[in-house]
Amino acid sequence: MYLTKEEERTYEGEYGWANQICMKILVRLGELFKATKLIPISSAHVSGVSYKLLGDAPTDFLEELANSGARVKVKATLNPQSLDQEYLCEKLPSGLCKKQSGVLEYFKKMGFAQSLTCTPYYLETPKRGSHLAWAESSAVVYTNSVIGAWTNREGGPSALAAAIIGKTPNHGIHKAENRQPKVLVKLERQLQNEVEFGALGIYLGKFLEDKIPTIQGLQYASKDNLKQLGAALASTGMVNMFHLESAAVKAREIEKISMEAEDIKCTVESLSTASKSKPDLIFIGCPHCSLNEIKQIADLIGNRKVKKGMEFWVCTSHYIKEKAKKYVEKIEKSGCHVVADTCAVVTWTDKLGIKTIMTNSAKTAHYAPTLNKAETMFAPLKECLKVALEG
């Protein structure tokens, strides 16, 4: 892999251990994927911020990096942490809050913006065609497919290294030829709600492996529904983007598959594992809610109240929570908690006694049985609200 003189000096350690280790991570990754050089990035987004998922050894590494002078060279944002200060911190063992605060301190010292969201594109939308180094698979698929910026699916360490160096190896979908669709997906009927968009993603992720699809007949889809599709697609597969079918693609000869109504129905059903009829937690906001979704929830709740004893969270970033203030007030008046900077999957729901999670997110329904040791009820927002408000 070609390195400029400056990059070589970093690699040899002239700018200190922290920069050297980050450069070594990028070069090793580049060699593995046969990259020819490093390219500048506009931003980096780092996952592995939640102490629940990190644990102690990676936290020690972050501390060492921060104390050895690692500083970001580009705009760099962070994924959700494992709790929020307002609601969950006091419900969880205090040692955990302390550990999480330590992780945030180290990132802060390195210059990361405390965005704490899996939807960093709501804070600042990347430019179409710009190169990024983002971890967080749902954001990767959304930014490649809906926004049109270019990023591979980075792991936490490689996104961190890219933030410190300001560059990433030019492989994968940083190259135009690797962004071409390989499979045309025909939908046999229009999708009805966000749950069906998620189910489509779960199904295709398993089926496609790493082949980029172009999906026919989704022109009517909202950005929020495409967010659900992308998050689910990345949960079960290695695909980092999808296309919505265009005339240019139509003309090309590629593999074709049909999605029958029955495939969607079976996938939706498979994402509900609960043996009980009532959830311990209703969770909306995976990926983190947009302003539009918060407004929609507030409108649907109206003046009604959440049933006594029902735990109901809507998760988003503190940035959107602040922007959506009047809707947030309305939602919280109902007894629902608008929880910022974290989500049900990356917090310790098991320590809160939650054994069954109801959600409209296919990604959460997919991960909760393993990451939360919880059973799932997978249903559209309107049904989740019905259970929250009517029992």
**Which residues of this chain interact with ligand F3S, rule CB under 6 A?**
79-80, 118, 138, 231, 286-288, 315, 343, 345-346, 363-364
Structure tokens at 253: 């000869």
Distance in Å, CB of 288 to ligand F3S, minimum: 5
In this complex, which beta carbon is closest to ligand F3S, that of residue 1 or of residue 241?
241
In this complex, which beta carbon is closest to ligand F3S, that of residue 18 or of residue 297?
297
In this complex, which beta carbon is closest to ligand F3S, that of residue 118 or of residue 195?
118
DSSP string, 124-188: SPPPTT-BEEE--HHHHHHIIIII--B--B--HHHHHHHHHHTEEE--GGGSGGGGS--EEEEES
Q: Which residues of 319-355 are buried (b: 16+ CB within 10 A; e: fewer)?
A: bbbeebeebbebbeebbbbbbbbbbbbbbbbeeeebb
Could you list the beta-strand ranges (E) of 47-102. 75-78
Look at residue 313 and give its three-state secondary structure: strand
Angle at 362 between CA 358 and CA 364, to 5 degrees: 60
Distance in Å, CB of 50 to ligand F3S, minimum: 8
Evaluate whether 340 touches 363 at the Cβ level (below 8 Å): no
In this complex, which beta carbon is closest to ligand F3S, that of residue 138 or of residue 349?
138
In this complex, which beta carbon is closest to ligand F3S, that of residue 1 or of residue 134?
134
In this complex, which beta carbon is closest to ligand F3S, that of residue 360 or of residue 364?
364
Distance in Å, CB of 138 to ligand F3S, minimum: 4
Could you list the beta-strand ranges (E) of 188-334. 213-216, 243-244, 255-259, 281-284, 311-316
The phi-psi region of residue 13 (left if phi > 0; otherwise alpha if psi is between -120 and 50; otherwise beta) is: left
Distance in Å, CB of 137 to ligand F3S, minimum: 8
Distance in Å, CB of 287 to ligand F3S, minimum: 4
Structure tokens at 98: 């302390």
Q: What residues contact 188, with CB distance under 8 A and at least 6 apart?
A: 258, 259, 260, 261
In this complex, which beta carbon is closest to ligand F3S, that of residue 64 or of residue 124?
124
Evaluate whether 344 touches 283 at the Cβ level (below 8 Å): yes
Distance in Å, CB of 20 to ligand F3S, minimum: 31
Distance in Å, CB of 390 to ligand F3S, minimum: 26
Distance in Å, CB of 293 to ligand F3S, minimum: 12
In this complex, which beta carbon is closest to ligand F3S, that of residue 50 or of residue 168?
50
